[in-house]
Structure 1
């Protein structure tokens, strides 16, 4: 009988220990699929983050839903890009998610920032913009010459220090910027993704030190994959680097800078606002003037505009999705997104689509 009691006690203690270990794993929420993918990669084998914005919804125009409130209420950590990209999350994070530690990954140390482009083929921003209706109208200054001197190659992986000991979490907001002065699509530079992943790892280790070894091993694997994927994409795009193209809205300059491409212009600044006839005529003229090879649509927004601006030109059409919305959420999503962007650009610019 005593042996039976001993077995029962041992089983209960084991169950209790397992429950404690499970409860110590932080409840993590991520805003958009690329951020979720980076977090899911670091958490592999430990836990799974929740995703707020699923499907093809754009963070520029999304509304916060009651069904999403539970995620923020129960969150220990919230990873998002920031208010310029996801204005719909700003107030809910401050109120519903006030108990969570919210990290705006677009503002962390190590992330390279570019100012929004405007002028010429890049439509001028509305400098009187008030509120958060759309991120691209937030620019508050004339940035003049848009060669910002950002040589992304100086951020190459060589020499990256991945020792996280002694990290000061107050440095997470190390880059102070006025609202709207930064293009928020920072994840499209893999070196920015590397910096974001480092901070994600440090934050998880701080909340869950028992799994430090797993988090840091996952970070090392992610960095190695970023190295190989970056090299593959650079080789893929090398033959089409001199081809001009027009994008639906100017979301890709981080990707362009990293891989030596250059969009000739954008159709609209505000993805949710249809450009007027004058703007459409200007883009058509620009396509002809530059001999732009391709004009790229986005799945989240009105595709008819692409047909309008390319009518009567020799430009081919393609689709770019900066969110990878059609890809399944998870650790592979970020790499699938980057590969899809590169493939779409290569195929259209090389005349293979």
Structure 2
């Protein structure tokens, strides 16, 4: 009896590290809410990733809090867009996040990125993909990529696939779960894409202006006719001359709507549409008031589609 007891005890002790390794939830940190939602979907049933930029915040000019810095120091995996969009993470990730695996989406998805727009009025070639230009990395012909890459369900599907792969690398015991979750998310994204195509088809040719140049992926995906932005950099307020130019553009192109954003100054919109036939609307590329979780991305994109349709119909 004593020998049987010792054998059972030895078996339990030997199996303990495997059990502990399988039960430990990986520490995952995600920069912004839309990405957090996609990652949450892939991690569903396993755990919940931590979010850095909370509701109401913008990655443009964000200041990292001590509690958020602590999350980075403990992370096993950090998922973010990249150096251009979340520049506030550059130094912390070089120091605090050294031990973590980093999935920098702008780097991983470089062949699919669009080039950043130049000026507040956009030419038809603005939708050119960085990956389409063989000189894209030449010092004299470098095309700066647009990093608002989550605003297209096709890109979201790629993000989901990359996330599942990264999670399997740090947590291989749950490979089947991550892959099954990724497949379910991709099915939902296909349905979302179909819905948005049907919703936005009637307003494809209607001209409009956005607050800042954040929606190029959405516009390219659904053939929308955005003709300019109030500002390219939401951290800088345009001067009187620029506001006058935008006002003239609204009249000249008969823009149907000028969209503001909840994270930035909306009084500028009222100024530029004064004396024109344009109406106002709101577009939120981050989903400031949407609860975190796997459904947030779908609610965000559905709301963008609804707001565009209402503003342009």
Q: TM exceeds 0.5?
A: yes
Partner-residue secondary structure (3-state), 1:98:
coil
Aligned to 2:262: 299
CA contact (8 A) 1:110 1:195 kept: no
Aligned to 1:28: 28
Residue 325 (structure 1) shift: 1.7
Aligned to 2:103: 103
Distance 1:120 1:43, change over 3 A: closer
Distance 1:213 1:177 in 2: 41
Distance 2:137 2:217 in 1: 19
CA contact (8 A) 2:200 2:309 kept: yes
Per-residue deviation, residues 215-258 of structure 1 (Å, max 9, x unmatched): 00011111111111100000000011111100000100100000
Residue 120 (structure 1) shift: 5.8
**Structure 1 portions without partners, runs of 5+:** 123-143, 151-174
Distance 1:245 1:349 in 2: 8
CA contact (8 A) 1:108 1:196 kept: no
Aligned to 1:205: 168
From 283, 286, 307, the counterpart of 2:246: 283
Partner-residue secondary structure (3-state), 1:264:
strand
Distance 1:147 1:74 in 2: 40
Residue 70 (structure 1) shift: 1.2
Partner-residue secondary structure (3-state), 2:205:
coil
CA contact (8 A) 2:75 2:97 kept: yes
Distance 2:138 2:259 in 1: 30
Misfit runs of 4+, over 3 Å = 12-20, 147-150, 175-180
Q: How many residues align?
A: 301
TM-score by structure 1 length?
Answer: 0.79
Distance 1:206 1:16 in 2: 18
Distance 1:41 1:111 in 2: 25
- Bigger helix share: 2
Aligned to 2:181: 218
CA contact (8 A) 1:194 1:223 kept: yes
Q: How does 1:1-353 map to 2 (within 5 A)?
A: 19-23=20-24, 25-109=25-109, 112-119=112-119, 121=121, 146-150=125-129, 181-350=144-313
Per-residue deviation, residues 114-155 of structure 1 (Å, max 9, x unmatched): 111123625xxxxxxxxxxxxxxxxxxxxx8734545xxxxx
Residue 285 (structure 1) shift: 0.7
Distance 2:137 2:54 in 1: 29
Residue 329 (structure 1) shift: 1.0
Residue 180 (structure 1) shift: 7.6
Distance 1:58 1:192, change over 3 A: same
Per-residue deviation, residues 72-115 of structure 1 (Å, max 9, x unmatched): 11100000000110000011011011110111112214761111
Partner-residue secondary structure (3-state), 1:187:
coil
Distance 1:200 1:253, change over 3 A: same
Partner-residue secondary structure (3-state), 2:311:
helix
Residue 262 (structure 1) shift: 2.1
Distance 1:233 1:78 in 2: 30
CA contact (8 A) 2:209 2:227 kept: yes
Distance 1:320 1:84 in 2: 22
Per-residue deviation, residues 281-328 of structure 1 (Å, max 9, x unmatched): 111111111110000001100010011001111111001011112111
